[in-house]
Structure 1
Amino acid sequence: MKDHRTAPADADPGASGDSAPAAGRDSGGEEAGEVRRFWGRLGIPGLVDVHTHFMPERVLRKVWDYFDALGTLTGGLEWPITYRKEEAERTALLREFGVRAFTAMLYPHKPGMARWLNGWAADFARRTPDCLHTATLFPEPGVEAYVREAVEAGARVFKAHVQVGAYDPADELLDRAWGVLAEAGIPVVIHCGSGPAPGKHTGPGPVARVLARHPRLRLVVAHMGMPEYEDFLGLAERYEEVRLDTTMAFTDFAERLMPFPRRALPRLAGLGDRVLLGSDFPNIPYPYAHQLQALERLGLGEAWLRAVCHDNGARLFGL
């Protein structure tokens, strides 16, 4: 892990409290200052967030409508969208927070969507240079071809959503596509845990079958694999290219429903070079700063925080 000793010149290294998140609070300059003080104190040049959502506006609006309707995949939970803003406002806010690099996590729920989404994401990456060019996939005929096309077009990260897509990641239709991504060394952020609601193919079993075939595949398990945290920690301990992102984990919202087991904290500390900051921005029911506070209050130390919030992502993506 890098040990940053000097804060950037534009950072405000003043202390910030670990206050509980206020639902619906103004997330403008005041929160941006809070976020920047967090990473300024750590002496890193900003944040690398591997789990943020940008997608075609009509698709994103449908996602928000689903949350508003308390859909079954959200566990029927009340889930207010804190950052329900236009695309330009959302990118500007991430920059105001000091997020150096972020992603456009997008995903199909049926055949025939992925290639179209990949075209949109390629265009978004061209006009948004601080967004890591993101792509996606679905088990369908032709998936290997369009995954290869996306790789050749410069995709730097893929998103797979086992819960929403309702597919088995070990489906033979995906096997050659996983091989392409493993060979290219491109990370895949995969929602495969059974939270907030289980699916037919969620949980560690299907992913373990994928890794048995492709042990060098760079899977980034979203949400720390909640609620099967310890099973997914085990996969990361077994496969050196498996990583986990922090998205929503350890926050008050998640801890009330799917608490991270305290007994697993030493294992989490031991994997400090393979845990990455993720937030789920903009689709979170609390302020962005609360994810950072939740990580800090784990008490795993500043070196761990520096690695998770910046260095691991910067190394993975060559920033």
Structure 2
Amino acid sequence: MTTIYFAAGAPRWTRFEAPLRSALQDAGIEADLSPQCADPSLVDYIIYAPDSEVQDFTPFTRCKAVLNLWAGVERIVGNPTLTQPLCRMVDPSLTAGMEEWVLGHALRHHLGMDRHIQNPDRAWDPTPPPLAAERPVTILGLGALGQACARALQGVGFPVKGWSRTQKDLPDIASHHGDEGLKAALTGAEIVVLLLPKTAATENILNAETLALLAPGAALLNPGRGHLIDDTALLAALDSGTVGHATLDVFRVEPLPQDHPFWAHPQVTVTPHIAAETRPKSAAKVVVENIRRGQAGMPFLHLVDPTHGY
């Protein structure tokens, strides 16, 4: 009997219990799955979310892996008590949700939809937008999500280039890396998408200096991490017109405080961290596949490298 502790909170348990039990049955795994843990020393796997009340992993001496339900792991990867393998969530449905959010908001800004939807003066301006092929897009972060979004944007004609901290050899994407590569990737970009993890090296990667490299009036989309942007610098860039609009899905503090300037700024759209929400039915299959692999002595999928933070 495999003992699985669901340490991701009661609200998630109500949504995940049935999909997890179904996936375990389909995989032929006989398991004791519970949101309660009477004896940590008997737990084989922990299904986890970083906002869990479990923050000390020391008692879980038999645990083979901690299986995160979120793609982001910055709130757990530095935990000094975590000695067990940590696997992040890589889910096709999560990727599809991110693609749709990025493509939808990129097209919204590209086509100038806001000025037609919100047109109280009934202004009649028949000037068409440029074609997608004339609107350069830059994606910061070329992991699985960044590459998927790049392909989606390319599919409707946008010229896409990307940047990552380390060199990526991607046949269909003009990719850059390093400090000089970041400047090359951002210079002249009219739409910028942030899909980097939060690390010491990526915090405030968009600041006064780097925002100044964008094409005047560029649109900024951040479904990655709130810490990637210097909020004060972004507000100044919005006020000066350096940035034309920012659509933000993630923030340094969530929920975004009611008195935060982003709420009131006319050139900011706030979405409530919905770009790539974990969906129980598909995520359960990802988690159970790693449990199956662990029981079979196979390598885990989507292992986190603590030295890189993701």
Taking structure 1 as the reference length, the TM-score comes to 0.36
More helix, by proportion: 1
More strand, by proportion: 2
Q: Which has the larger radius of gyration?
A: 2
Taking structure 2 as the reference length, the TM-score comes to 0.37
Q: Which has the higher contact order (CA 8 A, sep 6+)?
A: 1
